Structures are given as structure tokens and as C-alpha cells.
Amino acid sequence: MYKTNYDSPVGQLLLTSDGESLTSLWIKNQKYYLYKIDDELIDNDDLEIFNQVKSWLDKYFNGEKIAINNLKLKPQGTKFQKEVWKILCNIPYGETITYKDIANKITKNLRKDKMSAQAVGGAVGHNPISIIIPCHRVVGTNGNLTGYAGGIDKKIRLLQIEGHDMTKFSYKN
């Protein structure tokens, strides 16, 4: 497993890779930082995937609307978590979705009778590829900005970068 760092407007980011795919992107000191990473991480700033991700991040933080489908992502998680993360990957830049909306989509995708928004929140919170798999675009049904492992201040900043009108959201500092 390899690692590199990236300085961003929301703080230092740690990127990890298996050599071909991005396996995680963590905001320094976020909740679940390095969760489930047991391998030794070797510094390597020259991996092609790291160059691609850093270029993507440069564009993102400059306000460009860029797709993630050209990046090789390999988040590690349960089948349920991966289903949730797949939904996150389809939230368009500049838009948000609620935990309840995701729960409804999961119910349909997995042919379940119901799904709790709290279970979805747990999967969203354990997203190992922050920013790129856009968990910051998930909000409460009432527009409340909750549940961001990187911190609400970082979630607010990411939504601002994407051009959101922050007056439609509620949050506590």
C-alpha cells in the first residue's frame, strides 16, 4: 500500500493506493481516519493514480465540474456500504441528496421492504474516499448539515466550492 499527501482548502489530505487504484482519501484527523488500513503505507508521490487524483483535486478545488468515472477507485467495505457509495458517486456536482432518499434507493436496489436512514448514515460516514465519492452532498431531510466525518466546517466549505446557496441549509458551528 502506498500513500501521498495533498494540501487542500479543507486541510491536508492523505491518499492511499494499492499501486493501481485509489483505495482511500482522508482529511487529516477526520473520524475513522485510516479505518481498516492495516498494511504499512509506503511514501510514493510518483504513482500514476496519485498524479491523476491530484489533477482531479486541483480542478475540483478550482470549481470545475469534473466527473469521477475516469478515476480508478477501489474503496474497501461491505456489500451494503458499496451500494451506498455507488449511489453517492451518482450525485451530480452542485446537488445534494438526503439520507432518506438514499435509503429509498437502497430499498429498491436490494429489494428490501425498508431501510433506515441511520444505517445509510453509517455507510456514508465510513466512506473511505472523501470528496471524490461525495458524501459531503448528503444532508438531512430538513436540510440539516449533519454527519460529515471530516467535520461540518469542511462539509460547508466543499458545498460552497460547488456553488451551493448555504442559506437553504441549517447547521450548528
Q: Residue 38: enclosing H or E segment and its boundaries?
A: none
Closest alpha carbon to 117 in 159, 87, 92: 87
Query: What average pLDDT does the chain have?
Result: 89
Give CA angle at 126 (11, 6), nearest 5°: 25
Catalytic entry in 47, 102, 132, 135: 135
Query: For position 54, what pLDDT does the model report?
Result: 97
Helical (H) or strand (E) element with 22: strand 22-27
More confident residue, 18 or 112: 18
Average pLDDT over residues 28-35: 71
**Please, are residues 116 and 70 in contact by the beta-carbon 8 Å criterion?**
no
pLDDT, tens digit (0-9, with 9 covering 90-100), for 47-60 = 999 999 999 999 99
Mean pLDDT of 93-103: 92
Helices (H), the chain: 48-61, 79-89, 99-109, 117-125, 152-161
135 is catalytic: yes
Q: Is 66 helix (H, G, I), strand (E, B) or coil?
A: coil
Taking residues 16-26, report their average pLDDT.
94
Highest mean pLDDT among 26-35, 41-50, 116-125: 41-50
pTM for this predicted structure: 0.90
pLDDT of residue 173: 55
Q: What is the band of 89 on the pLDDT scale with cuts at 50, 70, 90?
A: very high
Give the residue, 36 or 148, on which the prediction is more confident: 148
Report pLDDT for 16: 93
| Cβ–Cβ < 8 Å for 92, 114 | no
The pLDDT, as a whole number, for residue 33 is 58
For residue 145, what pLDDT band results from cuts at 50, 70 and 90?
confident
Rounded CA gap, 143 and 166, in Å? 10
Task: Report the amino acid identity of residue 145.
Answer: L
Tens of pLDDT, residue by residue over 38-87, are 778 888 999 999 999 999 999 999 999 998 988 999 999 999 999 999 99
Rounded to whole angstroms, how far apart are CA atoms 54 and 71? 11
pLDDT of residue 129: 95
- Domains of the chain from N-terminus onward: 2-61 (3.30.160), 79-168 (1.10.10.10)
> Sign of the CA dihedral 93, 50, 10, 103?
positive
